[in-house]
């Protein structure tokens, strides 16, 4: 990966996104939020946690909550296989793990390749969708992972932690 100052210098003209799959759809998140990608291991359950919070893992001394995005997005019953991975994210001052079906690649998108998210109506909360990235015949649903992980229904990160 290139150094951080190079990434910041190019962010106004192009953005790098980690592409991953949930069910039949492909999503993308800002690569700068990703700390590492790990193979899936069953986390330790936490009593009274929402269904999409699978539990926690100990990552080099840091207790990391693990969120299953298929459950969060109501994409059916998740299956865990050799392709299932946990994307470790740095959001605000917290570390969070996100379970996805598989990771594809890191993609650079130019501003003209990103279309605004469609207005779907109030029945579906699309606040966390930045837009739709198009690369040839692929379409990535671009997710503002800060906004998603700090949303009130997630309950993982205080929005004040992002401002700090």
Q: What letter would DSSP give residue 124?
A: S
Residue 7 has pLDDT above 90, yes or no: no
Q: Is residue 136 part of a domain?
A: yes
Q: How far apart are CA 22 and CA 40, in angstroms?
A: 14
CA dihedral 134, 24, 116, 152 (to 10 degrees): -140
Residue 108 has pLDDT above 90, yes or no: yes
Model pLDDT, residue 131: 92
Q: Is residue 125 part of a domain?
A: yes
Q: Is residue 1 part of a domain?
A: no
Contact criterion met (CB below 8 Å) for 93 and 164: yes
Query: What confidence tens digit (pLDDT) does each residue in 9-25 have?
Result: 334 468 999 999 998 89
Model pLDDT, residue 125: 60
For residue 25, the enclosing domain spans: 15-151
CB contact burial 51-86 (16+ within 10 A = b; e otherwise): ebbbebbebeeeebbbbbbbbbbeeeebeeeeebbb
Identify the CATH number of the domain in which residue 55 sits.
Answer: 2.40.50.180
Model pLDDT, residue 120: 63
Query: What confidence tens digit (pLDDT) does each residue in 60-87 have?
Result: 999 999 999 999 888 888 899 999 999 9
Q: Is residue 81 part of a domain?
A: yes
Phi, psi of 111 (to 5 degrees): -50, -35
10 Å CB burial of residue 147 (0-12, 13-18, 19+) is middle
Taking the model in full, what pTM does it have?
A: 0.82
Q: How far apart are CA 114 and CA 111, in angstroms?
A: 5
Average pLDDT rounded to a whole number, residues 131-140: 92
Model pLDDT, residue 138: 92
How many distinct structural domains can be found in the chain? 1
Model pLDDT, residue 76: 83
Q: Is residue 101 part of a domain?
A: yes
């Amino acid at each position: 990966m290139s150094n951080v100052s190079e990434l910041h210098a190019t962010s106004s003209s192009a953005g790098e996104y980690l592409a991953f799959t949930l069910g039949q759809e492909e999503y993308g998140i800002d690569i700068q939020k990703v700390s590492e990608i790990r193979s899936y291991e069953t986390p330790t359950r936490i009593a009274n946690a929402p269904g999409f919070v699978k539990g926690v893992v100990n990552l080099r001394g840091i207790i990391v909550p693990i969120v299953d995005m298929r459950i969060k997005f109501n994409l059916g019953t998740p299956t865990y296989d050799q392709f299932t991975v946990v994307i470790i994210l740095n959001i605000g001052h917290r570390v969070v793990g996100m379970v996805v079906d598989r990771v594809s690649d890191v993609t650079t998108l130019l501003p003209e390749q990103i279309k605004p998210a469609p207005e779907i109506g109030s029945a579906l909360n699309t606040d966390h969708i930045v837009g739709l990235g198009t690369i040839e015949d692929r379409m990535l649903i671009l997710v503002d992972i800060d906004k998603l992980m700090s949303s009130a229904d997630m309950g993982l990160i205080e929005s004040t932690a992002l401002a700090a």
